[in-house]
């Protein structure tokens, strides 16, 4: 059951996600349009009345920056059209890796994006697997921070049911120390050991050295990460696992940023399978890449928020 004043609209690059969400909610996708100009500028407008309605705007903010700016224009248009409530549904929250000052004279991009969304007029944010949990504190509106573990735990259980891995032989691994908390959550949930890859970076997107902390010999290793960008870290970790005697290596990651040459690296790596959610569309055709949909999870979150119900049990890990 859905409230009559709930409407879902989509940005141009997340239409596939919004359509799945609406299918799960058994509602029609709202009508809106984007008009471009010769110089690259564009505007958006709603093609139906939204006065007094609860509006859910679906748009991941992956590159280019046009996706973020389109969302900001959508929010502003909804506010000026007298929408009662404006929730931004952002499966992939871009600029999240810029969550602190890690060197002098840099911006905190995640805080700037949070400020832009709030000034534009959002009432709520619904997102998934932020790169840093503290980004929730950058907002002065409610933030529903969902986790891709809702679909990944089903994937792991599927591997076990098919006999491709066994819980007695499974090891959860993190490709860097920063992901220890995430990997540990999976290890505790399934009651299996965890290993850590310690990496040394000399510059962004380039790993100079990596070492394994823990034992992977004869094990089925599952690497856990939130973002795969150029795939340098995840593939280097997978190759290192196999060199240290692992029986197989698979990887799960929430967001398929997948900048070139990521697909080529995954194809040439020791990975048996690389699994993403569809928070970012992936269409580069790797046989090793599998994509799982999180649209039903976001649809359920939207339904519960609109009905003022708890969403606590959506946080499985």
Residue 317's pLDDT is 67
Average pLDDT of the residues in 125-149:
96
Nearest alpha carbon to residue 257 among 79, 36, 58, 93: 93
Q: From CA 296, how far away is CA 311, in angstroms rounded?
A: 13
Average pLDDT of the residues in 48-68:
96
CB 60 within 8 A of CB 14: yes
By annotation, the residues acting in catalysis are: 199
For the record, the structure tokens of 304 come out as 């519960």
CB 227 within 8 A of CB 205: no
Q: What is the pLDDT of residues 88-105, one digit of tens each?
A: 999 999 999 999 998 899
Average pLDDT of the residues in 141-151:
95
Q: What percent of the chain has pLDDT over 90?
A: 87
Quote the strand ranges of 117-205, DSSP E: 124-128, 143-146, 170-174, 194-203
Q: What is the pLDDT of residues 249-301, one digit of tens each?
A: 999 999 999 999 999 999 999 999 999 999 999 998 899 999 999 999 999 99
Nearest alpha carbon to residue 292 among 264, 260, 250, 262: 250
Q: Any idea what the Cα angle at residue 295 is, between residues 135 and 113, rounded to 5°?
A: 25
Residue 296's pLDDT is 97
Q: What is the pLDDT of residues 18-39, one digit of tens each?
A: 999 999 999 999 999 999 999 9
Residue carrying the six token digits 């549904």: 89
Q: Which residues of 227-242 are buried (b: 16+ CB within 10 A; e: fewer)?
A: bbbbbbbbbbbbbbbb
Q: From CA 295, how far away is CA 246, in angstroms rounded?
A: 34
Residue 202 reports pLDDT greater than 70:
no
Mean pLDDT of the chain, nearest integer: 93
CB 83 within 8 A of CB 51: yes
């Amino acid at each position: 059951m859905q409230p009559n004043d709930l409407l879902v609209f989509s940005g141009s690059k997340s239409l596939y996600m919004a359509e799945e969400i609406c299918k799960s909610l058994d509602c029609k996708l709202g009508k809106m349009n984007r008009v471009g100009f010769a110089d690259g500028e564009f505007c958006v407008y709603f093609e139906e009345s939204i006065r007094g309605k609860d509006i859910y705007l679906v748009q991941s903010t992956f590159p280019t920056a046009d996706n973020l700016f389109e969302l900001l224009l959508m929010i502003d248009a909804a506010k000026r059209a007298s929408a009662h409530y404006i929730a931004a549904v952002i499966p992939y929250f871009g600029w999240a890796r810029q969550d602190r000052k890690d060197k002098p004279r840099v911006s905190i991009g995640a805080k700037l994006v949070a400020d832009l969304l709030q000034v534009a007029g959002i009432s709520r944010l619904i997102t998934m697997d932020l790169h840093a949990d503290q980004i929730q504190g950058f907002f002065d509106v409610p933030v529903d921070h969902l986790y891709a573990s809702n679909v990944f735990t089903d994937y792991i259980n599927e591997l076990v049911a098919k006999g491709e891995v066994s819980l007695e032989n499974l090891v959860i691994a993190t490709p860097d120390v920063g992901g220890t908390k995430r990997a540990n959550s999976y290890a505790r949930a399934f009651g299996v050991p965890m290993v850590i890859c310690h990496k040394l970076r000399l510059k962004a997107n380039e790993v100079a050295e990596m070492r394994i902390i823990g034992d992977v010999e004869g094990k089925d290793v599952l690497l856990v990460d939130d973002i795969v960008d150029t795939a340098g870290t995840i593939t280097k970790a997978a190759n290192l696992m196999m060199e240290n005697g692992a029986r197989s290596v698979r990887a799960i990651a929430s967001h398929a940023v997948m900048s070139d040459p990521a697909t080529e690296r995954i194809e040439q790596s020791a990975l048996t399978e690389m699994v993403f959610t569809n928070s970012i569309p992936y269409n580069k055709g790797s046989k090793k890449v599998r994509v799982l949909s999180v649209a039903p999870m976001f649809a359920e979150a939207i339904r519960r928020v609109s009905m003022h119900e708890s969403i606590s049990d959506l946080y499985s890990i």
